[in-house]
Amino acid sequence: MIRILRQILRTGIVTGKTPQVDDPNIKTKGINLEDTVKKCFRRSLTVREVDAGSCNGCELEIHAINNPVYDCERLGIHFTASPRFADILLVTGPVAINMEIALRRTYDATPAPKIVIAVGDCACNGGIFGETYASLGGIDKVIPVNVYIPGCPPTPADILNGFYKIFL
């Protein structure tokens, strides 16, 4: 036990300071987005993320908007595991044949008004997968889409600005 404590004291603190977001568009849009979320959704916007068959590139960027750099929680954007509590469906990837029914059920379980955001080129138009024997293509082939966020993958700033497009 003493050996472990000595090692801790020798090593010291190895974590660094949280980097600040240097993109002024995010701060400006963030303030407007925060005010709009509080006004329209009564202080919180609840998001259900659905992977319809992606390569997980877009999911990594979606996880990044939850980290301390972008911190979507400060804007009033929260993620939920249940579509029954969601205001928005955030869908990634082309719709795989095996995910079509699950995507429809998730959409049906979401309360009205249903807002759907397609994240990434694959969700917008099928991307590199297109329409094949295993893929139906873009999300709009299965459920209606309100906002498209193109990119392979889109940056966290693009995703946050995509939330802003809902209210325009």
Range ranked top by mean pLDDT from 38-42, 43-47, 51-55, 66-70: 51-55
DSSP secondary structure letter of residue 142: T
Residue 147 C-beta-side C-alpha neighbours within 13 Å: 21
Give this prediction's pTM: 0.78
- Report the distance separating Cα 166 and Cα 168, nearest Å: 6
Which residue in the block uniquely carries the two structure tokens 């299965």?
A: 142
- Mean pLDDT along residues 7-24: 66
The pair of structure tokens assigned to 43 is: 């202080």
The pair of structure tokens assigned to 83 is: 């579509």
118-144, pLDDT tens digit by residue? 999 989 988 888 888 889 988 999 999
> Is the pLDDT higher at 103 or at 18?
103
User: How many Å separate Cα 160 from the centre of its chain?
Assistant: 8
Query: How much is the pLDDT for 68?
Result: 82
pLDDT above 70: residue 28: no
CA distances (Å), 109 to each of 2, 140, 141, 166, in order? Answer: 55, 18, 18, 20
The pair of structure tokens assigned to 80 is: 């939920």
pLDDT above 90: residue 3: no
* Alpha helices for the chain (secondary structure H): 2-11, 24-40, 57-64, 100-109, 121-125, 156-165
67-110, pLDDT tens digit by residue? 888 888 887 888 999 999 898 999 999 999 999 999 999 999 99
pLDDT above 60: residue 19: no
Query: How much is the pLDDT for 40?
Result: 65
CA distances (Å), 131 to each of 54, 71, 93, 136, in order? Answer: 14, 35, 12, 5
